[in-house]
Amino acid sequence: MPVPVPSGPFVPAGTVRVFDTTLRDGEQAPGAGLTAAEKLEVARQLVRLNVDVIEAGFPAASPGDWEAVNRIAKEVRGVAVAALARCRDGDPQKAIEAIRVAERPHLHVFIATSDIHLKHKLKITRDQALAEAVRWVRFGREQLGRDAEIEFSAEDASRTDPAFLLAIYEAVVAAGATTVNIPDTVGYAIPAEFGALVGRVVDLVGRDATISIHCHNDLGLATANTLAAVQAGARQVEVTINGLGERAGNASLEEVVMALRTRPTQFPELLSRVQTEHITTASRLVSHLTGFAIQPNKAVVGANAFAHESGIHQDGVIKNPLTYEIMTPQSVGLSGSQLTIGKLSGRKGLQKKLHDLGHDVSGDALDIVYREAIALADVKKEVTDADLLALLQQRSGDVPASIVMEGWSVTSSHGGRSTGSVRLTFDGDERAGESTGNGPVNALYRAVDEAIRPVLGWEPTLVEYEIKAVTEGEDAQGRVFLRCRRSTDTGPDAIIVTGHGLSTNIIEASLEAYVVAANKLWTAEQDEASLPALGSTERLP
């Protein structure tokens, strides 16, 4: 049985603080980049989820990341907004500038402490690392005041000499750190040894600071290590939606939170503030915006998490769900019932069904979804839960609309070239384009290029293209996901954006996704022109 320990000064007794880093470490997953508007959309959902801290990004990484962190800091309330910074001149200043406007600013500074990182990456001594850690913790405290949260992370803590690790934690707490984080940066630890390490840190500084952990999943042990750390006295867990993150990902928010809730005897008198009924909605939003599909057998949020195919299992669940379900679908935001919408359905009925699926939609947004659902009912045999969720997700995010598609046509034949033509407006001015291609989608993409290239000076270049059916059947909606960069950006730092399209006509869905991507690239170019250069950085641990 774990022994209760005092919580740090910023965590009430009996509480495990949930620090969500989806928008920072989660976004470091290759290909998971989000625009500032998409980050804000995820942040709003994290507020509904009631996490304690949102790590909004790394402001020194780019002008776009600084803008995203600052926008989130300005808007969200009732939750702390954290920004990450290296213990290096320039980084903490930019982070503080971005989050100073937050209701609850949370500065998170870090430096590597393992000998392999100190020797090969930073090329400094242990004493130099300790001095920099103390310097920038003290700087953050001086700049943000006595009531702000200052967190220090020892990168690669699980491979750091324990004596040096304890010395640096003791020093940064004396300098003003109120949270010390123990990252298993490369997923090297196993639960027994990680719990023991956390226990030593708790014994040393646990009465003066909150002990946090940040676990990666390289050995598939991120959630197990996180739970072992909580049993050892950690009172902040750093997690991501769907376990998104660098390499094999991070500890999964939904797994950690539901373990705490489902196994109270293993975590006596410990609760999180998370409103678990919003977990599924948050999971699907992050999956949609990043393009990272959730594996069907993913714990808690996978499509099969509450599915029973075996006859023995089905019989048991019918008699009593507890025979094969350790949590209810409703506890994580699933309705547990089939939703059917037809062309005779009314707005009130649709609104209630959307509410049952975890979405409160009203006003103009409801009118848009209603028109799309009724139009879909005219061409499909049945509009399912998945169809409605796809329609909602397609509307998520503040996608700019300087380029608006007004009409298109395409001709194609077996063994021949396709010819496509488009009519669109750019900031209200009519444009037209026509081109040929090796298929209808290629022809239409080239036609769009012909229409917008004279105005933009570039066209979108396709990096990735993917089609998925939303539901089964020949009349299913098709969802197109793609990634694009500007044709003039060819280096490793090129901005890459996502585009989404949804339609029962896969050509139309493809065209919609391409136009969305073109709009995002155009907005990114305008942002680059209006923001000062803030520098760049290497990938973070």
3-state secondary structure 463-511: EEEEEEECCCCCCCCEEEEEEEEECCCCCCCCCCEEEEEEECCHHHHHH
Nearest to 524 by CA among 481, 500, 493: 493
Per-residue pLDDT for the chain (541 aa), expressed as one digit of tens each?
A: 343 444 555 677 788 999 999 999 998 888 888 888 899 999 999 999 999 999 999 999 989 899 999 999 999 999 999 999 999 999 999 999 999 999 999 999 999 999 999 999 999 999 999 999 999 999 999 999 988 999 999 999 999 999 999 999 999 999 999 999 999 999 999 999 999 999 999 999 999 999 999 999 999 999 999 999 999 999 999 999 999 999 999 999 999 999 999 999 999 989 899 999 999 999 999 998 998 888 888 888 877 766 543 445 545 655 666 676 777 777 788 755 334 566 666 677 677 767 767 788 888 888 888 887 777 777 666 676 777 777 776 666 556 689 999 999 999 988 778 999 999 999 989 999 999 999 999 999 999 999 999 999 999 999 999 998 877 766 677 889 899 999 998 877 788 888 888 888 899 999 999 998 999 898 888 877 665 544 433 434 4
Per-residue tokens: 152:
């220090």
Question: For residue 392, what are its two tokens?
Answer: 């909602």
Model pLDDT, residue 463? 92
Are 500 and 480 spatial neighbours (Cβ–Cβ below 8 Å)?
A: yes
The conformation of residue 82, written as its DSSP 8-state character, comes to: E
* Contact status, residue 277 vs residue 330, Cβ threshold 8 Å: yes
**Which residue is it, tokens 């952990």?**
213
pLDDT value of position 494 = 85
Q: Which residues contact 203 (CB under 8 A, 6 or more apart)?
A: none
pLDDT for 540: 46
Query: Which one, of 418, 481, 480, 464, lies nearest residue 444 by Cα?
Result: 418
pLDDT at res. 391: 74
CA distance 410 to 507: 9
Alpha helices (H) in 291-437, listed in sequence order:
311-319, 347-356, 363-379, 385-395
**Domain regions of the chain by residue span:** 17-290, 311-395, 403-528
Q: Are the beta carbons of 19 and 52 closer than 8 angstroms?
A: yes
* pLDDT for residue 274: 95
The answer to whether 130 and 165 have CB atoms below 8 angstroms apart is: no
Q: Tokens 């867990």 appear where?
A: 237
Q: What is the pTM of this model?
A: 0.77
User: Is 223 within 8 Å of 2 (Cβ atoms)?
Assistant: no
Q: Please name the residues in contact with 283: beta carbons below 8 A apart, sequence gap of 6 or more.
A: 241, 242, 254, 294, 301
Q: For strand 17-20 and strand 179-184, is the pairing parallel, antiparallel, or unpaired?
A: unpaired
**Cβ(420)–Cβ(447) below 8 Å:** yes
pLDDT at residue number 343: 63
CATH topology assigned to domain 403-528 = Double Stranded RNA Binding Domain (3.30.160)
17-290 is classed CATH 3.30.70.1230: no
State both tokens at 470.
């939303």
Spatial separation of the C-alpha atoms in residues 194 and 184, rounded to whole Å: 8
CA 457 to chain centre: 32
467 phi, psi to nearest 5 deg = -120, 135
Instruction: Quickly tell me which residue has 């640096």 as its tokens.
Output: 168
Give me the helix-helix angle, 279-290 and 253-262, nearest 10°. Answer: 170
Structure tokens at 26: 């989660």
CA nearest 517: which of 477, 491, 480?
A: 480
Residue 32 sits at the vertex; the CA angle it makes with 191 and 27, to the nearest 5 degrees, is 55
